[in-house]
Amino acid sequence: MTGTMRPEELMENAVVDNHGNKIGKVGTVYVADDTQQPEWVTVRTGLFGHKESFVPLQGATTDGDGVHVQVSKDKVSEAPQTDGDRHLSEQESAELYRFYGMPAPRGSQENRGTAGPTGAAGGAAGGRTTERSATSQQSQQQSGRGPRSRDTAGESMTRSEERLNVGTERVESGRVRLRKYTVTEEQQVKVPVTHEEVRLEREPITDGDSTGARIADEEQEVTLHEERPKVEKETVPVEKVRLSKETVRDEETVSGQVRKERVEVDEDGKGRHRS
């Protein structure tokens, strides 16, 4: 990794591959026992971030976007995964470098040791333990006193667990448009009409009423009328239509896997107790 970077500065940073694609977030930082410098990180990937894969920090740089590594996102997705916060053995570290096709950092196997985790779940890791041991031995040699035993009663460790934080977000689910269009349909309406017809009426002449009687040709004309249906169209408003929205409350069930740490006490001769 270029420059000097403290493990706590890497935690929760985004990891970006060599093509600018975001891989995930840093889960655990693994430091080398000899140099105390970050050597590997695990990246949380997947829907709920439960999958952790190893990513090398060799040649990595940091900026405001996160940690830029020299491997691709596809390669990381195929990388070996961690099964807990523990030291990496020399063989495991060598296999990881072979997987990524990178040369292992220089240093003898005796001096280099292994890589240990440090982070939210790792706590103080292997590299730090080695450093404390060396410092303790050096101070004992300088003072001329032998090693002293220390009562560790009262020391504690922190047990952590993951919890699901569930919320809601407002997203666009669709759009509705209101439009009107014209259709033509046939209508039949019965209309009452009247017409005039000719009817011949006869009225008998009584005796003695012979006024104006004569024989001659005569013609009389009568005009007939009838009603015919007349169709006119007019446009009238019939109703108003508008769109409105209403909120409907429902419930959905979400699920996810969470991890939690257990505490195990191993007493000599008495077996193990878990809680």
User: Could you read off the pLDDT of 207-222 as tens digits, one per residue?
Assistant: 766 666 778 888 889 9
Residue 21 lies inside a defined structural domain of this protein: yes
What angle is formed at CA 25 by the lines to CA 42 and CA 264, rounded to 5 degrees? 50
* Tens of pLDDT, residues 40-92: 888 876 555 566 788 888 888 888 888 898 999 888 888 877 655 667 788 88
More confident residue, 170 or 46: 170
Check which CATH number belongs to the domain holding 24 and give it.
Answer: 2.30.30.240
229: number of Cβ within 10 Å: 9
Which two tokens mark 148? 């002293």
Q: Is residue 222 part of a domain?
A: no
- Does 163 reside within a domain? no
pTM more than 0.85: no
What is the number of alpha carbons within 13 Å of residue 119 lying toward its C-beta? 23
So what's the pLDDT on residue 65?
84
In three-state form (DSSP H/G/I as H, E/B as E, the rest C), the secondary structure along 100-159 is HCCCCCCCCHHHHCCEEEEECCCCCCHHHHHHHHHHHHHHHHHHCCCCCCCCCCCCCCCC
E strand or H helix at 9: helix 7-10
In a domain, 256, yes or no: no
Confidence at residue 150, expressed as pLDDT on a 0 to 100 scale: 45
Average pLDDT over residues 255-265: 87
Residue keyed to tokens 């072979």: 98
* Residue 229 belongs to a domain: no
Give the range of the structural domain holding residue 11, as residue numbers without chain letter.
7-141
Residue 114 lies in a domain: yes
214 within some domain: no
What's the domain count of the chain? 1
In a domain, 210, yes or no: no
